Amino acid sequence: MKILSISTSSNIASVSISENDSCILELNINNNKTHSETLMPLIDKLFKTINLKLCDINCIACDVGPRFIYWN
């Protein structure tokens, strides 16, 4: 199962793809812009780097404060 994880609970925006308890790729950015300006380009770069499409993702996880919420 491939999971797209998104973290925006700090100044650093982070996105990652994991599969079977292993991180395939993680990208982080801290460029003094709001996450609304950086998140979509960062996710796009993540997908292009590992040659995946959104339809390849089985679950999306995002943080709310110090916790994660999972959708599938």
The domain that holds 26 is classified in CATH as 3.30.420.40
Backbone angles phi, psi at 40, to 5 degrees: -65, -45
User: What is the span of the domain harbouring residue 21?
Assistant: 2-71
pLDDT in tens, 12-49: 889 999 999 899 999 999 888 787 888 999 999 999 99
Given a cut of 70, is residue 67 above it in pLDDT?
Answer: no
Domains in the chain, number: 1
